[in-house]
Structure 1
Amino acid sequence: MGKKTLITLIITIAILIIAAWVFASTYSAAREQYIDGHEESKKLALEKGKLSIIDTIETYNGQIKYHVISGENSSNEKVYVWVPQTKKKETVIVKKQSSGITEQQAIAKVNQVYNPENIVDVKLGMDEGIPIWEVKYRDKSERYTFDFVNFYNGEIIKHMAIKEEKQS
């Protein structure tokens, strides 16, 4: 192996290591922002007597950022807890899962009304004080679409579609 080949190999390996490190750091920072505050929200839900068991916690980014926790209360009832992530201490909202529609029912409503090409994501959130299922999908026109389905009655309360500009 010649001297030039060895130098090229060392430089290539160094570039790959640096690229991997930059990618890992960026991913870690992005992921950290997503889960930032989850432990505090879990603690709040447990301390306030809202939950005795926590199953999942997700971040919902709407007009107000919420941590949405799924779990059980002290009566062993399945509940959802919405913990607002604002400077003002807004009210933590607790609802029995049985008081609203399921994720599958929200998807069925969107399928019935808009017949999407493919569902991208479904998550619980909050919009203007109303618990919602946010259903994200691609429609037949290739638009990225958001439907807010009312948690209580299954009605679609907002429908937003974003058309992507085609690159020529």
Structure 2
Amino acid sequence: MKKWILSIVIFFVVLIGIFIKVYLSAMNPVKAAEEKAVLLASKKAQLTEIQDFHLYNGLETVNVIEGKNKKGDKIIVWIPEKSKKVFVKKAKNGLSKEEAVQKLLQEKNPKKIISVRLGMEKNIPLWEIYYRSENNLINYYYVHFETGEWLKKIENL
């Protein structure tokens, strides 16, 4: 009986080790992209403090970095993966996350907002709001970062 218990414990330890190895291997490209993007943003936008980094996968992959510059202003940097062109905007010159959600709420009645994140498509900075409707369908709502205008909707997936 003790051999069975020991075998099961060893099996689960090995299984957990494999899962950890696969997860770390999968995260390596994301970490490499983050390092390159942060280095480029530090040079081009004089970024001194990083507060958030994420990848936006829309029409193309875009590295999005939120942080502060040397003057202490909160800035947002978008770096499209293909062009490596750097787009820099002060956060105060665009909509906040809460304001973007309010734009959605003026037009729609979401059951649950899943995520709200910055992105860029066709060199236009935007907020992507991912939510579920009353009938539990997936929806995306895109709001222009600077003007607050609706850009596009993907509904009822």
TM-score, normalisation: structure 1: 0.84
**Which amino acid in 2 is paired with 1:76?**
G
* 1:25–1:131 CA distance, 2 compared to 1 (3 A): same
Contact 1:50 1:94 in 2 (8 A): no
Q: Map residues 18-167 of structure 1 onto 2, 5 A cutoff.
A: 18-86=14-82, 89-163=83-157
Deviation, 1:35, is: 3.1
After superposition, what is the alpha-carbon deviation per residue over 1:4-58, rounded to whole angstroms, capped at 9, x for unaligned?
x123112211221122112212322333343331111111111224423322222
The aligned residue for residue 166 of structure 1 is none
Name the CA distance, whole Å, in 2 between partners of 1:145 and 1:107: 13
Name the CA distance, whole Å, in 2 between partners of 1:99 and 1:131: 12
TM-score, normalisation: structure 2: 0.89
After superposition, what is the alpha-carbon deviation per residue over 1:51-79, rounded to whole angstroms, capped at 9, x for unaligned?
23322222211121111111223333221
**Which amino acid in 1 is paired with 2:114?**
V
- Please say which structure displays the higher CA radius of gyration: 1
Contact 1:35 1:59 in 2 (8 A): no
Name the CA distance, whole Å, in 2 between partners of 1:58 and 1:48: 18
After superposition, what is the alpha-carbon deviation per residue over 1:95-117, rounded to whole angstroms, capped at 9, x for unaligned?
11122111001111112211111
Contact 1:49 1:73 in 2 (8 A): yes
Name the CA distance, whole Å, in 2 between partners of 1:36 and 1:162: 35
* 1:47–1:90 CA distance, 2 compared to 1 (3 A): closer
How many residue pairs are counted as aligned between the two chains? 157
Partner of 1:110: helix, strand, or coil?
helix
**Which amino acid in 2 is paired with 1:149?**
V
Percent identity over the alignment? 29
Contact 1:144 1:161 in 2 (8 A): yes
